[in-house]
Amino acid sequence: MVESREKSDAEWASCLSPEVYRITRLKGTEAPFTGAYCHTKMPGQYHCACCDAPLFSSDAKYDSGSGWPSFWEAMAGGAIATETDTTLWMVRVEILCSACGAHLGHVFDDGPEPTGKRYCVNSASLRLHGDEEETTNT
């Protein structure tokens, strides 16, 4: 399990850009095909934009055609928490950063092998730590 990184709502609002705050703390979403990491192929690790906890490896990233960065697995060690999401008149599985509770996106059972999962993630909830350089999204 990842160490908890809790802050008050006011603290999150003061340290995140309005877009990152809206998506990660208010459970928003970005328009498809507009996120910074939708088509990124740079190797590295994707970390939480709020607390910098490692969430996904570029080795598990694939092009799902959905318009959002997609991964077939999360990092080991409990990086991702899940909750049932019943908004928009459907039942989905929301994915959250285990360390700080940031909304990341949703997970679906239509991904590639070996897991069959598609972690569909908002670019604004991620920060890529590349093997050669660091890219920030805040």
Active site residue 120: yes
Cβ 72 vs Cβ 62: under 8 Å: yes
Q: Dump the DSSP string for 67-125.
A: SS-EES-PPTTT-EEEEEE-GGGS-EEEEEETTT--EEEEEES---TTT--EEEE-GGG
Instruction: Name the catalytic one among 48, 51, 97, 120.
Output: 120
Active site residues: 120
